Amino acid sequence: MTFGPAPVIVCVDCGGRAHLVQPADPETPYEEDDIATYRCEDCLDRWDLVVTADDLAPDRDD
- Taking the model in full, what pTM does it have? 0.84
Give the separation between CA 18 and CA 40, rounded to whole angstroms: 4
List Cβ neighbours of 39 (8 Å cut-off, separation of 6 or more): 18, 19, 21, 45, 46, 47
**Residue 41 confidence (pLDDT):** 98
**Residue 59 confidence (pLDDT):** 66
- Per residue in 7-58, pLDDT tens? 999 999 999 999 999 988 888 899 999 999 999 999 999 999 999 999 888 7
Length of the chain counted residue by residue: 62
Give the separation between CA 30 and CA 13, rounded to whole angstroms: 25
**Residue 58 confidence (pLDDT):** 76
